[in-house]
Amino acid sequence: MSRIVITGGAGFIGSNLARLALESGHSVVVVDDLSTGEKANLEGLDLDFVEMSILDEEELVPVFQGADSIVHLAAMGSVPRSIQDPHRTNDVNINGTLAVLQAARRADVNHLVFSSSSSVYGRNPALPKHEREWVRAMSPYAVTKLAGEQYVLAHQESYGMETLAFRFFNVFGPRQSVGHAYAAVIPRFLDAIIQGQPVTIYGDGTQSRSFTYVGTVCSVLLDAVERRVSHPEPVNLAFDTRTDLHGILTELESLVGSPVERIYEDPRPGDVKHSQAANSSLLTLFPQVKEKDLREGLAETLAWYKSQ
């Protein structure tokens, strides 16, 4: 079994991955400064938790020593937050990623998996979006994710590190944070519905995404670690599906058994209108991966939020 370090492991995806890795018999080290993650997400898990910033390369080295793989998820997420605070987003997502990579080299850890984002495609209107399509970032967040993935891939060429850069597409599921200005769309919708309040839609509601269930994402991440998968190009971690916001709300209305009031506001700067993943690279590298049915994933997510 492997010793896996998860940066940002107290966050949404990281805490779900930590659970899955432990259930599979691996040992887990979580590195998180709790700026956006929550210690409660790791409650009851038998792992090593290190509270620290990924910007501290010197301190990362001893934490990484003895690890078989690093899954680097720590980041300042959210397009709107990056527009409000581009300097902090740049520092954490670019300088932090470089610090993680260099600390991994110094600790003799030669396998690293990175979370990039579909936001890097930006202005490119192509659907579905293939990894070799041109990119045109629309937000500081997208710029930092593009820079991060390129640093990760450059470490293959420059230092012989085995790396894999995934582009995530609108991951949703249990433990996704809500109740703050930068919450993602599905937890925002669920929080409003559970509290009996109208949902707010930025734009006309026709904007569409390849929504991806967190359990699927984590199963691919763990498989990548267990098989030490490396690839010289970014890989979309999503499926060739696309659902607009009205479609998401229709499914949620069906699940809760009542209509949902909707309030429309102006589109937010930096938001991409449509996003859809081409998944041929994913299926080549991970032929066993199965897409979670959207309705089933929403039902499990709704049940978790209600339990909280």
Tens digit of pLDDT for each residue in 64-112? 999 999 999 999 998 999 999 999 999 999 999 999 999 999 999 999 9
- Helix and strand numbers (H, E) in the chain are 11, 13
Give the CA dihedral 277, 281, 283, 285, nearest 10 degrees: -140
pLDDT of residue 1: 87
Q: How far apart are CA 160 and CA 175, in angstroms?
A: 35
Task: For residue 259, tell me if it sits in a domain.
Answer: no
Question: What does the pLDDT look like over 132-161, one tens digit per residue?
Answer: 999 999 999 999 999 999 999 999 999 999
0.75 exceeded by the pTM? yes
The first and second tokens of residue 19, run together, are 């659970």
Q: Max CA-CA distance within the chain?
A: 56
Q: Can you give the pLDDT at residue 127?
A: 95
94 close to 102: Cβ distance less than 8 angstroms:
no
Q: For residue 219, is it within any domain?
A: yes
128: preceding bond cis by omega (within 30 degrees): yes
Q: Is residue 303 part of a domain?
A: no
Beta-strand ranges (E) seen in the chain are 3-7, 27-32, 48-51, 69-72, 111-117, 162-168, 171-172, 199-202, 208-209, 212-213, 235-237, 243-244, 262-265
Q: How many residues does the chain have?
A: 308
Residue 30: strand pairing partners: 6, 49
Structure tokens at 53: 């910033």
> pLDDT means per 10 residues in the chain (308 residues)?
96 97 98 95 97 98 98 95 96 98 98 97 96 96 98 98 97 86 83 92 94 97 98 97 95 93 92 93 97 95 92
Name the domain count of the chain.
Answer: 1
Beta bridge partners of 236: 167
CA 168 to chain CA centroid, Å, is: 5
Residue 187 lies in a domain: no
Query: Which tokens sit at 263?
Result: 């309030």
Tell me, yes or no, whether 78 lies in a domain: yes
Residue 198 included in any domain: no
Cα–Cα dist 79/205, whole Å = 18
> In the prediction, which pLDDT does 230 show?
98
Residue showing tokens 């720590």: 74
* pLDDT score for 8: 98
Has residue 97 been placed in a domain?
Answer: yes
Q: What is the pLDDT of residue 181?
A: 63
197 within a domain of the structure (yes/no): no
What's 122's domain CATH number?
Answer: 3.40.50.720
- Domain membership of residue 52 as a residue range: 3-172+212-240+278-292
